Structure 1
Amino acid sequence: MQLQTSPLVISESPFFSDLFSSPLWLIHLLLSTMSSRDKGSSSSPAMDNETYVKNRIQELVRLIKVARVYRQDNVPSLIQQGLYLGSFAAASNKNALKSCNVTHILTVASSLRPVHPGDFVYKVVPVVDKEDTNLEAYFDECIHFIDEAKKQGGSVLVHCFVGKSRSVTVVVAYLMKKHGMTLTQALQHVQSIRPVANPNAGFIRQLQDLEKSLQGKQESLAHCQV
């Protein structure tokens, strides 16, 4: 008995719909990345067919996720006047950035590079989204960058890849340090505007350390004024 197979209908799949509705330059970039990884990996007996297929599937899933973010989350989220938060797609959307009066872009990611270097002032913080990443070490310079953008009458977009963990951590730290918010207040404010916001556990601990440090300074100041 001969098995009947039906062809894959790409247009009816939401995954492939997301992928192929993205700009051609994005698809080309991602496919090039996949291809370069293949060239850089040496074939060995340990790399059997099953492992190879699994790796390719993982790459394809990542590509689809990237395309979906680009399609569905490409506009900056206004956190407060002069301060926006978003994904790499928002940082790529030049028209939206200009309409928001964004003049500065703070990229909190090691794998992303400025997309429009001639149009905006960039700062890149090369960190990965892992619990053991010391993002706290960059808080002061990130806050200074945001303040400078505002002082110049512009606005700043803080972004990472998805706009969920690294960039959120920096924005929360800014609200805590510059506006006297508690960690809970700052995070809830950001999440009310951008529900996807969810720093990893390591970043939360660093924000808790910042909160303790700020509380200690306030107590010391109050003690000196007595």
Structure 2
Amino acid sequence: MMGRFARKIDESLRWGGKEEEEVFKLLPAMDQFDESFKNQKGGPLQVLKVTRYVKESDTLSEIEEGLFLGSIGAAKNKTALKSLNVTHVLTVASSLPPAHPNDFLYKVINVIDRKDTDMKQYFTECFDFIDEAKRLGSGVLVHCVAGKSRSVTIVVAYLMKKHGMSLLKALEHVKSRRSKAAPNSGFVSQLREFEKSLQDSKNT
């Protein structure tokens, strides 16, 4: 099971969708790891790989005051969320139910990390959710699975809209706070289109 679990994590980070759903069905099994895995071929390495993934993924990256970016690990890190005064959690991924529904206000955008996924259609409602948290003087976490593509796309678009940043400057800023930030090429194309629409609206 351990090998399958680790493989599914790798697949979910690349593709999302059904693989992603299967990974998070398996997450509770992490509490059941025991000495038996040490006796399996490759067991210790697989346990280390999964443990490292979870530990490294639970950090929230502060993009600006009150706006945080992260992974599913960050979304599950209740202690960190509370300590940073996060009250709102924006999930930008498929098949990820709220980790702490009684503690935070959630909005879920059910999308997979594919070039042909239309992210632009969700920009406005995501911006409104982020602004709602900020109006309350609270923090908001925007996350996907790895905190690399989907959630980054939303945060970059938000900076472009709210602060008049170019796509390049917004992405550079996000990468300076979260080095793994890397929207897929389809999302980058949509951000370019969004940048043009913002420029056009200024000129009218």
Q: TM-score, normalised by structure 2?
A: 0.77
Answering whether residue 72 of structure 2 is matched by residue 71 of structure 1, we say no
One-letter amino acid of the counterpart of residue 164, structure 1: K
Structure whose CA Rg is larger? 1
Flag the 1:132–1:153 CA change in 2: closer, same or farther, 3 A: same
Map of 1:28 onto structure 2: 29
| Identity of matched residues, % | 57
Map of 1:166 onto structure 2: 150
**Aligned partners of 1:64, 1:138: CA distance in 2, in Å?**
37
CA-based RMSD: 2.3
- Which structure has more relative contact order (CA 8 Å, sep 6+)? It is 2
Between Structure 1 and Structure 2, how many residues are aligned? 169
**Aligned partners of 2:180, 2:104: CA distance in 1, in Å?**
26
Answering whether residue 199 of structure 2 is matched by residue 215 of structure 1, we say yes
Query: Retained in 2: the 8 A contact 1:74–1:91?
Result: yes
Query: Retained in 2: the 8 A contact 1:69–1:162?
Result: no
**Aligned partners of 1:125, 1:30: CA distance in 2, in Å?**
28
Aligned residue among 69, 80, 84 for 2:64: 80
Flag the 1:115–1:176 CA change in 2: closer, same or farther, 3 A: same
Map of 2:105 onto structure 1: 121
Flag the 1:64–1:131 CA change in 2: closer, same or farther, 3 A: farther
Map of 2:118 onto structure 1: 134
Query: Retained in 2: the 8 A contact 1:165–1:198?
Result: yes
Map of 1:8 onto structure 2: none
Deviation of 1:125 (Å): 0.1
Flag the 1:64–1:209 CA change in 2: closer, same or farther, 3 A: farther
One-letter amino acid of the counterpart of residue 105, structure 1: V
Deviation of 1:113 (Å): 1.0
Deviation of 1:73 (Å): 2.2
**Unpaired segments ≥5 residues, structure 1:** 1-14, 16-24, 32-60, 221-226
Aligned residue among 178, 186, 203 for 1:202: 186
Alignment of 1:32-51 (within 5 A): none
Deviation of 1:65 (Å): 6.0
